[in-house]
Amino acid sequence: LLADKLQDVFKDLRGHGKITETNITDAMRAVRMALLEADVEFNVAKGFIARVKEKALGEEVLRGVHPGQQIVKIFHDELTALLGGDNEPLNLEKPARIMMVGLNGAGKTTSSAKLAMWLKKQGKAPLLIACDLHRPAAIEQLATLARQVGVPCFTPPPGEKDVLKVGRLAADWAKEQPGNVQIYDTAGRQEIDEPLIQEIKALREFLQPQEVLLVADAATGQQAVSVATHFHQALNITGLVLTKLDGDARGGAALSMRQVTQRPIKFAGIGEKLDQFEPFFPDRLAGRILGMGDIIGLVEKAAAAIDEEDAKRMEEKMRTASFDLNDFLAQFKMLKKLGPLENILGMLPGMSNLKDFSVDEKQMKRVEAIVLSMTLAERSNPDVLNARRRQRIARGSGVSVTEVNDLLQRFGQMRKMMKGFGKMRQMMSRPGAAS
């Protein structure tokens, strides 16, 4: 049984040379599904996959991981880079005007107040300015939030419908205030509305803001591309705020929006409360979009824990079947560096569902003790292990002779299995056979 379990582990610890079309077929399919399920727009997903794959082909596979796992990690890293390429902070050059734009319900008003609170914590003196003249309750909503944050708020004269006039009044008001950042909350619509966009465009031209932030719901689906394109063409946005990341949405919209605007995502909304707002972390979203977070951890761990040279030597030995008990022990140590075996197996795709797949760590320790009780000569040539020697080893490691015999029998099987390594390796790299 232990042999079976080890065989599973070895299968994944072997490393498979280079990344090729065939040894990543399954992983590519999984990545494509993940992107589409996360609502990354179809063409964006397609383009991204093609580019990353091109880059990854021919790359050496890290020792200790499966090519499929490594490709997921490569996608994760590329996705992270893409989502955070220019991880710029806010541009707060004077007069430090920030305009919040976006569809209705995206979270503009809430994010304006959240941003004010965040800036206040950074030692700034933000001002909130209500410029949504379309929804009657919008002004009061912002004023209420401003009171909660404890910052001054500009409210337009009742009944005023001219947003440019309001912009002018607000800019004058701001000059009189002891503030150094101005946050303008603007109006939105359920869908893209040309007259409204033109109105906001006029306000943008008048204010000449340092930041124009497109506020977008993380759950924006396939329309993310058209929303971002429209707002960006009309307003030349400077960044994005991704809201409602506390919800179920995997947030693929961010990738689409980032792709079409080439603008950084600067903040993330992670709840309804005013302090549930933070600078955007690209790697977290990348993990969320791919939904394969644990594989990434595994690959990182493997890369850190396994010495390449060691692994290369090991593989060579396996191939030539000169693998002996010393190597067996080294292999054990390699596994141990990776952490508790059950954790490792839990990280592998599909494995986490195997409830009854528990690895007996205690048994592994006993195996290690047995091998450690052998002399170096015995370890390199187990054939010399006669009954007397086996008794001595059993005593030395505190196990029964039967256990020593069991181990040696299993080792013999394993060695036989490894002789067929070359053949198996070919088999494993056939599409669909890898998992």
Contact between 270 and ligand GDP by CB under 6 A: the answer reads yes
Contact between 110 and ligand GDP by CB under 6 A: the answer reads yes
Cβ(196)–Cβ(189) below 8 Å:
yes
Both tokens of 53, joined, read 């794959």
Q: Which is nearest to 66 in space by CA: 429, 417, 323?
A: 429
110 contact, one of ligand GDP, Mg ion, none, CB 5-8 Å limit per kind: ligand GDP
Cβ(251)–Cβ(218) below 8 Å:
yes
188 is in an annotated binding site: yes
How far apart, in whole angstroms, are the C-alpha atoms of residue 264 and residue 190?
A: 24
Contact between 108 and ligand GDP by CB under 6 A: the answer reads yes
Q: Is 321 left (phi over 0), alpha (psi -120 to 50) or beta?
A: left
Contact between 79 and ligand GDP by CB under 6 A: the answer reads no
402 is in an annotated binding site: no
224 is in an annotated binding site: no
Q: Which residue has the tokens 């690959």?
A: 299
How many CB atoms are closer than 10 A to CB 387?
9
Cβ(359)–Cβ(341) below 8 Å:
yes
Q: Which residue is nearest to ligand GDP (CB)?
A: 269
Torsion of CA 324, 329, 335, 338, to 10 degrees: -130
Binding segment for ligand GDP among 49-57, 64-72, 266-274, 336-344 (CB under 6 A)?
A: 266-274
Q: How far is the CB of 310 from Mg ion (least distance, A)?
A: 59
How many CB atoms are closer than 10 A to CB 322?
12
Contact between 244 and ligand GDP by CB under 6 A: the answer reads yes
239 is in an annotated binding site: no
How far apart, in whole angstroms, are the C-alpha atoms of residue 106 and residue 219?
A: 10
Q: How far is the CB of 108 from Mg ion (least distance, A)?
A: 5
Q: How far is the CB of 133 from Mg ion (least distance, A)?
A: 11
Contact between 107 and ligand GDP by CB under 6 A: the answer reads yes
Q: What does the binding site for Mg ion look like in residue numbers (CB under 5 A)?
A: 108-109, 138
109 is in an annotated binding site: yes
Residues in the annotated binding site for GTP? 102-109, 185-189, 243-246
Residues in the annotated binding site? 102-109, 185-189, 243-246
Which stretches of the chain bind ligand GDP, using CB under 6 A? 102, 104-110, 188, 215, 243-244, 246-247, 269-272
